[in-house]
């Protein structure tokens, strides 16, 4: 990572502050924190956030720890990082809540068990980060974090917060969490089903043909031969080392095998989840005529 202080960048470029501001406005230069800039790169939003964290770490004081979504990024928890999100820290040595475009600081009381050094940076520990996010995030995003925590072996009862800010919101997400969920999109889908009062399916249930041949393990299973699959983008972009064309062909054959056995297969992706009612309507049509069971939140 090539970063510069604003003074060194202006010196190297032989320009004044007005020239630097023009570079910032044009997008040729990116401000990481006050006094630190870097040349623009084509980076995913989460990587740019991480670089801003590295820059912030150069000046944060003792008793200050990365927290909330910033800490979640360090711990590898599934959270949405948007470009407008400032680096988030908590301060344990006093002060008040402050926020600007690049940094948000919140006063907090942390025990030794609440802190950790993660990838070389001071942060709230995994358990504290999960409970903080469960208190603050919308239900689908909180469920994704809780699912990931349960998948990594954290105790459900230990994640419950009996009192304090957002404790009811956190309790709902923790009670609904399921470590069998394998991705942010699957968790988000399941939470959306609950909010829409759609019957909650079982997760990752192995399916077999009538003669005992293994068919697969779909993401969602409502029984009666109705299954659902969330198509994450990484499945088809080579992230897991397979050629996209090979993955697509294998997925087509897998779906056809289910359909040959009489299954109803419902598919959707992240883009469809962003359109209110699209996925919910698709599932409801497939489940039409089945007994209704209200989702438990």
Last residue of a domain, one of 132, 159, 176: 176
Q: Are strands 264-269 and 226-231 parallel, antiparallel or unpaired?
A: parallel
The two structure tokens encoding residue 297: 């939140």
The structural domain count of the chain equals 3
Q: Is 218 inside a domain boundary?
A: yes
User: End-to-end alpha-carbon separation of the chain, Å?
Assistant: 44
Q: Is 51 inside a domain boundary?
A: no
Q: Is 297 inside a domain boundary?
A: no
- Mean local confidence (pLDDT), 38-61: 88
Say if CB 107 and CB 126 are below 8 A apart. Answer: no
Say if CB 281 and CB 197 are below 8 A apart. Answer: no
Instruction: Say yes or no to pLDDT of 295 above 80.
Output: no
Residue percentage of the chain with pLDDT more than 90: 59
Question: What is the distance between the alpha carbons of residues 61 and 42, in angstroms, rounded to a whole number?
Answer: 31
Q: Is 294 inside a domain boundary?
A: no
| Same-domain pairing of 97 and 194 | no
- pTM of the model as a whole: 0.84
Model confidence over 108-151: pLDDT tens digits?
Answer: 999 999 999 999 999 999 999 999 999 999 999 999 999 999 99
CATH number at residue 243: 3.40.960.10
| Same-domain pairing of 190 and 221 | yes
For residues 174 and 161, which has the higher predicted lDDT (pLDDT)? Answer: 174
Q: How confident is the model at residue 45 (pLDDT cuts 50, 70, 90)?
A: very high
| Same-domain pairing of 80 and 33 | no
| Same-domain pairing of 238 and 170 | no
Give the domain extent around 10: 1-42
């Amino acid at each position: 990572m090539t970063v510069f202080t604003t003074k060194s960048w202006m010196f190297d470029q032989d320009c004044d502050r007005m020239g630097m501001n023009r570079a910032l406005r044009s997008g040729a230069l990116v401000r990481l924190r006050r006094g630190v800039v870097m040349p623009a790169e084509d980076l995913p939003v989460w990587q740019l956030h991480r670089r801003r964290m590295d820059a912030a770490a150069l000046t944060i004081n003792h008793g200050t720890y990365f927290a909330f979504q910033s800490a979640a990024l360090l711990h590898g928890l599934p959270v949405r990082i948007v470009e407008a999100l400032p680096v988030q820290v908590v301060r344990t040595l006093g002060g008040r809540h402050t926020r600007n475009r690049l940094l948000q600081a919140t006063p907090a009381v942390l025990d030794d068990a609440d802190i950790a050094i993660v990838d070389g940076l001071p942060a709230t520990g995994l358990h504290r980060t999960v409970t903080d996010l469960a208190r603050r995030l919308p239900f689908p995003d909180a469920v994704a974090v809780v699912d990931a925590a349960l998948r990594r072996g954290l105790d459900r009862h230990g994640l419950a917060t009996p009192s304090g800010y957002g404790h009811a919101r956190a309790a709902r997400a923790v009670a609904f969490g399921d470590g069998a969920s394998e991705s942010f999109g699957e968790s988000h889908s399941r939470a959306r089903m609950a909010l829409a009062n759609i019957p909650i399916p079982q997760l990752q249930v192995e399916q077999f043909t009538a003669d005992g041949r293994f068919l697969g393990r779909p993401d969602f299973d409502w029984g009666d031969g109705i299954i659902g699959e969330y198509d994450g983008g990484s499945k088809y972009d080579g992230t897991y080392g397979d050629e996209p064309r090979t993955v697509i062909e294998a997925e087509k054959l897998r779906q056809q095998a289910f359909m040959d056995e009489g299954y109803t297969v419902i598919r959707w992706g992240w883009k469809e989840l962003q359109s209110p009612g699209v996925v919910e309507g698709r599932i409801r049509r497939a489940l039409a005529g089945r007994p209704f069971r209200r989702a438990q939140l």
